[in-house]
Amino acid sequence: MFDLNNQGQKLYQKALKLIPGGTQLLSKRPEMFLPEQWPSYYSKCKGVEVWDLEGNRYIDMTICGVGACTLGYADFDVDRAVVEAIKSGNMCTLNVPEEIELAELLCEIHPWADMVRYARTGGEAMTIAIRIARAAMGKEKILFCGYHGWHDWYLSANLANDKALDGQLLPGLKPAGVPRGLKKTSIPFRYNNLEEFKNLISKYNKKISAVVMEPVRNYWPEKNFLEGIRQITKEKDIPLIFDEVTSCLRMTSGGIHLKVGIEPDIAVFAKALGNGYPMAAIIGKSKFMNAAQKTFISSTYWTDKIGPAAALATLKKHKKYNVSSHLIFIGSLVQEGWRKLAKKYELDIEITGIPPLSHWEIKTKDSQLTHTLIVKRMLEKGFLTSKAFYSTYAHTEEHVNSYLKTLDNVLRELIPYIKEGTINKLYQGTIAHTGFRRLI
Ligand SMILES: Cc1ncc(COP(=O)(O)O)c(C=O)c1O
């Protein structure tokens, strides 16, 4: 079934000539998984199943729509709401009443928030939040931690010093095309480093418009880290913006900040909010959100019906079935499975991430080569895999068991070579890329 000359790869070679970078999203580039061999394109997906262009079926045990589909692919209830939206007309001169129902629901789930604006993607929604904060505060500087998208305000951090984003989620991003005038307007700090944050607050004191961060990503906050940030931003009256583009709808049916018990001034949701349909929300305290009126934030397709209809259906289903507890359960099973396999084969591995956004890495000198080969073997056996696993409501214990059993068989074959340091005997192809550095 698995063909190295697959149609997807042929199409990708064509794409590389027509589309700079081949795809619109780094995380969907085949080089990130299995260069020259990844199926690359799908003809259909449903639940956790994916069919490539030849009709081969895979179980998705990797990033499941880059984290967009916590309910699984083509969820019946969300699709039904979207089909209804399409039937009643997706775009109109008049506005979409679902926007108000969604705003009420988001503020009910997050009682600290009073107002909501909408966008359709994570990076643009973050840019709106930054604009609102700057308009509210009338200052330029942003202190941030982690990855927040491709926009100028964020990439400008690398103008000052191209090491500035090191230690952040995606180091190595190049700021070509970003005006040099933005130099030193966005300043990074590291997660779980309150001292560094305090120093930056002292240094830029009266010039800061916002503090921007994911409340939780690869690691849980250390004691007093988020509390410290919240206390300082409150004292200084600096808006604290939580980027929940990826963390929303994983540990709760809302933001992950509900779990850690720290309330921001603005929070941003995207990705999973529409379960695969573009939808993003910026929620916040009216004290800051009203500043959206002091500036100009406006776009035609932020008003379509599909987005709010999909988000309402997603949130309601998520709450009704307590989807996050399933995501945690499935993610924990996978993490536990990796741990057991590591023990069985005496492998040094590192596991990071909350259970619904799990990552693992084998710690050898040939780690990336080993993972590339694992992806290849797993693909041959019908699984889409990588070093990341994002759980969905459509994953069952059976999927996890069959994935772990297959991974066990693959590791059994590879382990002598891993131990001898001769894994290159089994794979001479191109090694999967690890981040931005190799691709831009
Ligand atoms: C924390 C965070 N912020 C922002 C973004 C950008 O979102 P999008 O890719 O929808 O523009 C991402 C995407 O992965 C993210 O994880």
**pTM, entire model:** 0.96
Instruction: With beta carbons less than 8 A apart as the criterion, state whether 247 and 255 touch.
Output: yes
- Residue 312 Cα to ligand 1 midpoint, Å, equals 21
Instruction: With beta carbons less than 8 A apart as the criterion, state whether 203 and 137 touch.
Output: no
Beta bridge partners of 359: 352, 388
pLDDT over threshold 70, residue 5: no
**pLDDT value of residue 439:** 43
Q: What angle do CA 249, 144, 301 make, to 5 degrees?
A: 55
The residue contributing the CA closest to ligand 1 atom 10 is 122
The residue contributing the CA closest to ligand 1 atom 4 is 148
d(CA 209, CA 196): 18
Q: What angle do CA 84, 86, 89 make, to 5 degrees?
A: 110
The mean per-residue pLDDT over the stretch 379-405 comes to: 98
**pLDDT value of residue 440:** 34
Q: pLDDT grade, residue 349 (50/70/90)?
A: very high
Q: Tokens 């509390």 appear where? A: 227
Instruction: With beta carbons less than 8 A apart as the criterion, state whether 248 and 271 touch.
Output: yes
For 159-201, what is each residue's pLDDT tens digit? 867 777 777 767 778 889 999 999 999 999 999 999 999 999 9
Give yes or no for residue 245 CB within 6 A of ligand 1: yes
Q: pLDDT grade, residue 223 (50/70/90)?
A: very high
Q: Locate 291 and state its tokens.
A: 């500043």
Give yes or no for residue 314 CB within 6 A of ligand 1: no
Rounded to 5 degrees, φ, ψ at 209 are: -95, -25
pLDDT over threshold 50, residue 237: yes
For 73-123, what is each residue's pLDDT tens digit? 999 999 999 999 999 999 999 999 999 999 999 999 999 999 999 999 999
- Transcribe 5-46 into DSSP letters: T-HHHHHHHHHHHHSTTSSS-GGG-GGGT-TTTS---EEEEE
Three-state DSSP class for residue 297: coil
Q: Residue 129: which of 288, 301, 271 has the closest Cα?
A: 288
- Residue 197 Cα to ligand 1 midpoint, Å, equals 23
d(CA 331, CA 390): 7
Give yes or no for residue 99 CB within 6 A of ligand 1: no
